Chains A and B, each alone.
Chain A
Amino acid sequence: MNHLLRSHAPISDNVWEQLDEEARERLTPGLAARKLVDFSGPFGWEHSATNLGRTTPLSSPPADGVQGRQRRVLPLVELRVDFQLSRDELRDADRGAPDADLEPLDDAAHQMALAENVAVFHGWADAVTGIADASPHDGLRLGDDTNEYPTPVAEAVEKMMCRGVTGPYGMALGREQYRRVVETAEHGGYLLLDHLRKILDGPIVWAPGVRGAVVVSLRGGDFAFESGQDLSIGYDSHDADVVRLYLEESFSFKVATPEAAVALAD
């Protein structure tokens, strides 16, 4: 048993499998960052920092004639979303009920995906520098008129090409922008989604939490998501009525090439 303490929960193996499967199904559509950046790991709960390969000079070495340097690392951050499930519902799930109420888990999964996206694309104060924060390209907007969307997306691609950042490219779209894109057919009936995919030569992903859109190069080596403990369900406590669980992960995120992304404000 590890730190998640799953074996201590009053939950059968069968229901644990159902909970894990439900969480996977709910998380995967919204985990936009993982669809666009390089992923490494998981390296375990004990993994605490990412090597940056950089040092800071130390001013007072322990002896004359000796230079001292301290390694700089990027500490991992932890995300955790607590939720609780009714024990009656879990008992029903054990009996084979196909409609057991797992809504609190679904909500927690959505919040976790949203938090991961926000941290990666827009940053997290004092903890994570986001892709949009780091990008040196600015001034582009998507706007409200979907007929104009291809223009800023093509400009974003061209801006990156000018800096030597090759494709293919992918785009994370906020919820509202994604909805607009998939429902829009341009003049002549050509789907806007297909048009944008042709410009990017890569995927367009639904990204809850993203403000506007973020276009990134998918050539690799530009954005590094390092997973410590990958997304997991852990056990906290229980009483006669509910079981308290949580979704958890630890990770670091590093932008290696800021110019390999362009944020498009809404």
Chain B
Amino acid sequence: MKRQLPVMVFALVATLLLQSPAMAADAAAFDAALAKAQATLRDAESKVQLWTTSDQLMKGAAKAAASGDYDLAIELANEAGLHAQLALATAAREKQTWQNNVPK
């Protein structure tokens, strides 16, 4: 066991070193996805009323990132941005059609 200890320590350190760049890349990818989603939400919110789901998804993304699940975090951030774009699309369509519902 004593002889194996240095090997085990080496293996552990090597594993950590090899994993770190991959984790950093995931975190960086999440940061990029988050920044993109935040910009989309800001832009949409300056024009229309957002869906409540966008904020919920962003909270979910932050929570997933905090727990280290960057894949899920990125997915949720992207979905939050998508919901903001859908809110914009609804508003653009409604701009053309809302008058049809006014009693005349």
Is A bound to B?
no
